[in-house]
Amino acid sequence: MIDEGHALEAEGRFDEAMQRYLDAIRLAPNPAHAHLNRGNILLLQGDLPGALDAFRTAIKHKPDYAGAYYNIGNALLGNKQLGEAVANYRLALVIQPDYAEVHCSLGIAQKELGKLDSAIACFKKAQEINPRLAEAHYNLGSVLLTLGQYTEAWPEYEARYHPNINGKYVILPDVPYPQWQGEPLTGKSLVIWPEQGFGDEIQFARYIPLLKIRGASRITLVCKSPLKALLETIEGVDAVVSQAKAATLPIHDYWTFPMSLPLHFATTIQIIPAEQPYLSVPSKRLNQWNSRLPTSGLKVGLVWKGSAGHKNDINRSLPGLATLAPLWALPGITFGQPAKGAWRGRYRSSADRVADCAYGFRHPGLRRYSLHRGPARLGNLC
């Protein structure tokens, strides 16, 4: 019955899976495993208290159940109860010291607590136990990047698109040509395939001119549609194609993710490509905003909100523009907010000093602009 529940759970048929686990609890000589799986379903359904109760019930039936302590730790980690999560991971490791996944999750909790050296030790221990654990490599790479240890970090960070990684951070493109692994590019064509967020695409586009220097004959940049007009201004790019139209691309010699380029260029902090500006905006768009922003004083753009759909948005976005209100008292500064989507609106300080320059903003007398016009406003803030 538990195996049937697993199969139903994998298909997203949670109610049916739950019924199989409840049947197993009723019939099994020791229902510990069934309680653990019941807890997993409850956690997927957003019932944290119910899930924790199920995991703890599993431990009552099987006191040496390392997997149940691990699941409790994961549930608490997801709820930002970091100290309690660490305690449960340590209990799991007392029972099963070679549990690689627990070492990895303990490392994540330590990272969240700011204990980066401890986090690194946990990820390396997980790798020692199971060198194929992609999450350990990915998380180690992430922490090393935070510390600026790029030489060791970039190879580890490649695990972000490993086929076995939990969560699928990056999806491989379905194209009939190989991924570029640093081979000579003279006379070769290359597709740069998008990954992760807007900011990642913008930041790593700085490598495109360097690819041309290496001899690439044609560089095609695939991007999210709102970024197309902006990314077309990069020196060295031959074509910019929205991801929605990428299926029609001709055959190229190679493809690569933009965040793999630092690995192939052996990037360290000392040699980050720093040619500025590597992006530009048409003068016509800049001129559209000349009459809308002050001509004197410092102009500051405030980016305070990310995508609400991002799983880590709670740690990336402010609850509202009012959080920044103390800034409005600073003399000689005009603040503007490039806002978009569900959080569009009119925000001004009591001194009326936050400029109306929101993406997708609708207000009487103010035209509506698409996302790619945003850089024109930012250009005027310089």
pLDDT at 347 over 70: no
Report residue 89's pLDDT band, with 50, 70 and 90 as the boundaries.
Answer: very high
- For residue 268, the model assigns a pLDDT of 95
Average confidence score pLDDT of the chain: 84
pLDDT at 376 over 70: no
pLDDT tens digits for range 285-334: 778 777 777 778 888 888 888 777 777 777 788 888 788 888 888 888 88
Report residue 280's pLDDT band, with 50, 70 and 90 as the boundaries.
Answer: confident
pLDDT tens digits for range 133-152: 999 999 999 999 999 999 99
Q: Which residue in the block uniquely carries the two structure tokens 């967020």?
A: 197
CA angle at 360 for the pair 358 and 363, rounded to the nearest 5°: 75
Determine the average pLDDT of the residues in 186-207: 94
DSSP summary character for residue 159: G
- How buried is residue 382: exposed, middle or buried, by Cβ count under 10 Å (0-12/13-18/19+)? exposed
Report residue 127's pLDDT band, with 50, 70 and 90 as the boundaries.
Answer: very high
Determine the average pLDDT of the residues in 227-243: 93
List, edge to edge, every strand of the sheet that includes 298-301: 298-301, 333-336, 354-355
Lowest mean pLDDT, pick from 138-152, 165-179, 187-201, 231-245: 165-179
- For residue 340, the model assigns a pLDDT of 54
- For residue 272, the model assigns a pLDDT of 93
Bridge partners, 334 (sequence order)? 299
Report residue 346's pLDDT band, with 50, 70 and 90 as the boundaries.
Answer: very low
CATH topology of domain 2-161: 1.25.40
Q: What values do phi and psi take at 187, rounded to 5?
A: 75, 10
- For residue 72, the model assigns a pLDDT of 97
Determine the average pLDDT of the residues in 175-186: 97
Q: State the amino acid at position 369 in one-letter form.
A: Y
Determine contact, residues 179/210, Cβ cutoff 8 Å. no
pLDDT tens digits for range 109-120: 999 999 999 999
Token reading at 120? 């690194």
3-state secondary structure of 72: helix
Determine contact, residues 327/362, Cβ cutoff 8 Å. no
Report residue 212's pLDDT band, with 50, 70 and 90 as the boundaries.
Answer: very high
Q: Give the C-alpha distances (Å, rounded to integers) separating 233 from 181, 239, 246.
A: 26, 10, 19
DSSP 312-352: TGGGTS-S-GGGGGGGGGSTTEEEE----GGG------TTS
- For residue 379, the model assigns a pLDDT of 52
pTM, entire model: 0.81
- For residue 258, the model assigns a pLDDT of 96
pLDDT tens digits for range 21-70: 776 777 777 899 999 999 999 998 999 999 999 999 999 999 999 999 99
pLDDT at 186 over 80: yes
Q: Give the C-alpha distances (Å, rounded to integers) separating 64 from 61, 73, 91.
A: 9, 15, 9
Determine the average pLDDT of the residues in 272-296: 80
Give rounded-to-5 percent helix, strand, coil for the chain: 50, 10, 40
More confident residue, 81 or 350: 81
Would you call the peptide bond into 277 cis, given omega within 30 degrees of 0 as the criterion?
Answer: yes
Determine contact, residues 108/114, Cβ cutoff 8 Å. no
The fraction of the chain above a pLDDT of 90, given in percent, is 57
- For residue 5, the model assigns a pLDDT of 67
Determine the average pLDDT of the residues in 93-111: 97
- For residue 350, the model assigns a pLDDT of 35
Determine contact, residues 209/278, Cβ cutoff 8 Å. yes
- For residue 150, the model assigns a pLDDT of 97
More confident residue, 12 or 359: 12
Q: At what angle do helices 32-44 and 48-61 cross, to 10 degrees?
A: 170
- For residue 338, the model assigns a pLDDT of 64
Domain boundaries, the chain: 2-161, 189-271, 283-381
pLDDT at 8 over 50: yes
Of the candidates 309, 316, 364, 307, the one whose C-alpha atom is nearest the C-alpha of residue 339 is 307
Distance CA 52, CA 58 (A): 10
Of the candidates 199, 102, 113, 116, the one whose C-alpha atom is nearest the C-alpha of residue 153 is 116
- For residue 373, the model assigns a pLDDT of 41
